[in-house]
Amino acid sequence: AHTRKESRGTHYREDYPDTDDKNWLKHICLEQRKEKLHTYFC
């Protein structure tokens, strides 16, 4: 949260009160392949 220059949820920053969805809003997908769980942005 410290590397973002934005506020998001409970991580509010007075110096950066706005959210930056263009650069930080992501969806994380989980996929099980055989015995391993893979995570990736989708």
What does DSSP assign to residue 2? T
Query: How many independent structural domains does the chain possess?
Result: 1
| Domain, as residue range, for 22 | 1-42
1-42 pLDDT tens trace:
678 899 988 899 999 999 999 988 999 999 999 999 999 998
Half-sphere exposure in the Cβ direction for 17 (13 Å, CA):
1
Q: For residue 23, give the DSSP letter.
A: H
Q: Both tokens of residue 11?
A: 């991580």
Enclosing H/E stretch for 36: strand 36-41
pTM across the whole model? 0.52
Compute the distance between CA of residue 39 and CA of residue 12 in angstroms, rounded to an integer: 27
